[in-house]
Amino acid sequence: YCSLVVRIGDDRNLPAMLRASEADTIVGYLRDDPQASARQRVLRHTPWVLLRDAKSAVVEGNLETFCSRPHALVTPLGDLQGFVDDELEQHGMKRRIVLGVTQFALLMPVLLGQDVLTTVPDFVARALIGMSGGSLAMEDSPVAIPPVTNSAAWRGAVDRDPAERWFRSVVQEAFLNA
């Protein structure tokens, strides 16, 4: 028997939550090392894909078309600059971000029936396509973005806890099957 509390976090605040013992285990993209005493496991190297309404025009790898269309960005802190924008800047290009949302789940109503693009991890795109009944479509990103590394990190104090070990195994299995 165990209790599970799920909290929303991002690459900026998850490591701090672990360091402050506000969380025993964190999962996701961890930009910063969580803490010296934490254990960590890479779950998946996740490629980025383009997600759009299935009825909107295909981008087909065309960077100019990609940049000219409106974009939505998942941004937990409200900043409108992401991995894609960093890469585009290196090529002297910029996309038009028209909306920022705090969570991936909020993308579906934003994309359905609209000519809005977003770039998301592949497993997120597959989940949203499934939830939309195929009303969303995925294609390769025209921007070469390195895959994002999703990891789990946990406090050393819970390393051998049976409930925590079970939880980490379930999380690892979910990422392997994503």
User: Does 43 have pLDDT greater than 80?
Assistant: yes
- pLDDT of 15 higher than 90: no
Contacts 24+ apart (CB under 8 A), 20-27: 21/155, 24/154, 24/155, 24/157, 24/158, 24/161, 24/164, 25/152, 25/153, 25/154, 25/155, 25/158, 25/164, 25/167, 25/168, 25/171, 26/152, 26/153, 26/154, 27/150, 27/151, 27/152, 27/171
pLDDT(51) > 90? yes
pLDDT at site 1: 60
12: confidence class by pLDDT, cuts 50, 70, 90: confident
The model's confidence at residue 14, banded by pLDDT at 50, 70 and 90, is: confident
Task: Tell me the average pLDDT across 131-156.
Answer: 93
pLDDT band, residue 64 (cuts 50/70/90):
very high
DSSP 67: H
| Tens digits of residue pLDDT in 66-90 | 999 999 999 877 889 888 999 999 9
Q: Which residue has the higher pLDDT, 108 or 78?
A: 108
Question: What does DSSP say about strands 25-29 and 136-140: parallel, antiparallel, or unpaired?
Answer: unpaired
pLDDT at 62 over 70: yes
What is residue 34's predicted lDDT score, i.e. its pLDDT? 67
CA–CA distance, 116 with 88 (Å, rounded to integer): 18
